[in-house]
């Protein structure tokens, strides 16, 4: 999606989002990441994470990035705090945040901001 034109509004329908390719987060098939947008210099990344019921994203931290997460569907525990649909979570740099899905599928919208544009968001 990062190749979207910068001079007009881009809207992805629910159908288009459903078709968008996702890739396993940290190699776990139960955690799927869809990259929606990335700034040209890589300092802002926006995406969707979909977690299967009971899936666990083991504790990790981003030493040089902030992460904003909005829970769209489901209930999830982020860093030991429960977040239900409609909740917002902010993860400061360097803070460990294990994420565990509840009994139903979870969808989270996230905004990830590395301090250094060359920081690779796949390296956790």
Taking only the tens place, the pLDDT of each residue in 35-77 is: 999 998 888 999 999 999 999 988 777 788 899 999 999 999 9
Is the pLDDT assigned to residue 1 strictly greater than 70? no
pLDDT band at 94 (very low <50, low <70, confident <90, very high): confident
Q: Give the lowest-confidence range in 4-18, 80-94, 95-109.
A: 4-18
pLDDT at 107: 96
Q: Are 43 and 117 in contact (CB under 8 A)?
A: yes
Closest among 124, 72, 65 to 98, alpha carbons compared: 124
Residues belonging to the chain = 124
pLDDT at 44: 92
Q: Are 45 and 35 in contact (CB under 8 A)?
A: yes
What is d(CA 2, CA 54) in angstroms, rounded to the nearest whole number? 31
pLDDT at 112: 92
pLDDT at 124: 47
pLDDT at 59: 73
């Amino acid at each position: 999606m990062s190749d979207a034109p910068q001079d007009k509004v881009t809207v992805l329908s629910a159908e288009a989002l459903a078709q968008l390719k996702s890739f396993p987060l940290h190699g776990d098939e139960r955690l799927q990441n869809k990259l929606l947008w990335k700034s040209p210099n890589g300092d802002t990344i926006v995406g969707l994470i979909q977690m299967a019921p009971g899936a666990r994203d083991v504790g990790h931290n981003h030493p040089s990035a902030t992460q904003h997460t909005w829970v769209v569907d489901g209930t999830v525990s982020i860093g030991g705090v429960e977040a239900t649909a409609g909740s917002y979570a902010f993860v400061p740099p360097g803070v460990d945040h294990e994420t565990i899905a509840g009994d139903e599928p979870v969808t989270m919208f996230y905004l990830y901001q590395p301090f250094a544009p060359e920081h690779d968001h796949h390296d956790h």
